[in-house]
Structure 1
Amino acid sequence: MTHAPLDPALGEAPYDLQKHLGFDLTHWDVDYARLALPIAPHLMNRAGIPHGGIYATLLDTVMGFAGCYTGTPELKKLALTLSLTTNFLSRPKGKGLIAEGWRTGGGAKTFFAEGTITDETGEVIARGSGAFKYRATTL
């Protein structure tokens, strides 16, 4: 399935952690989100590969976005993570990470999502799943 690029009207200003890590929201639609992150020295662990916490952060973020799409810039929906499972499968062969998340179910108060991290070569690096609770208020 292909997805259209991010509608600029739906983009949000990067928050501090996002700026520090360097990822961008590149696609966002109903039940789907995609992030891109160039691999950089500040992301590496002692073995010279991206730290596992980077993968967990990307999965947490992309799955949260996948469940919070409204299509309306004035109406922002936010969620809190209730649980997050991350499975580390491989190491990147390319120069960037691509995180994709899909809302897989849920209701008015909670939702479930799955996510995958690949690189631009198609190498599957990590997979995750999570449960999320919608915040009582929107921004």
Structure 2
Amino acid sequence: MNEKEQEDPRSNERDELAQLNRLAEAAKPTFWGYLGCELVHAEPGKCGISLQVRPEHLNLAHIVHGGVLASLLDNAMGLVVIMECPGEKTVTTQLNVHYLQSTGIGEIRCEAVLIHKSRRTLTLQGSIVDNKGELLAWGSGTFRRVT
């Protein structure tokens, strides 16, 4: 057996997770951190993030502001894009959000998954649920590689 055959197959997963944790740490001083996003899980083509809703995330009706939900979808989908295009610059070119239910203070979670990838664009979908598993919003996004 050569050296590569003796490697632990989980080492790549640990390396990817360590890289994602470094990325999440580096993002703390950005809008990601300002919003309060936390990485829950990530694997090729999908990821999950969470947000502990605070009073500043609410609108005057005391429910989570739609812009917070849109930002959560954009952040989760963007993270998948970063994993799919390491070292490349990408931008959101389209974000479509369907608001289904409202919620207040508590944890919300967003799952994003890659559904199509071409040479220049990536298309994803995402969903946001509350701590009871109720679907709050779902959306789709298109991201473009910038040269």
**How many residues are aligned here?**
130
Note the C-alpha offset of 1:110: 0.5
Report the secondary structure of 2:83's partner residue. coil
Change (3 A) 1:15 1:109: farther
Offset from partner CA, 1:42-62 (integer Å, 9 cap, x none):
101000011000000011111
- Give the counterpart letter for 1:53 in structure 2: G
Comparing 81-90 with 14-23, which one deviates more in the overlay? Answer: 14-23
Amino acid at match of 2:44: V
1:29 deviates by 1.4
1:30 aligns with 44
Match of 2:141 in 1: 130
Q: Deviations over 1:54-102 (max 9, x none)?
A: 000011111122233159xxx4344201111000000237711101100
Q: Aligned-pair distance for 1:16?
A: 2.2
| Counterparts of residues 36-51 of structure 1 (less than 5 Å) | 36-51=50-65
Aligned with 2:75: secondary structure? Answer: helix
CA distance in 2, matches of 1:106, 1:78: 15
Identity rate of aligned residues, in percent?
27
TM-score, length-scaled by structure 1: 0.83
CA RMSD between the two structures: 2.2
User: Which of structure 1's runs of 4+ aligned residues deviate more than 6 A?
Assistant: none
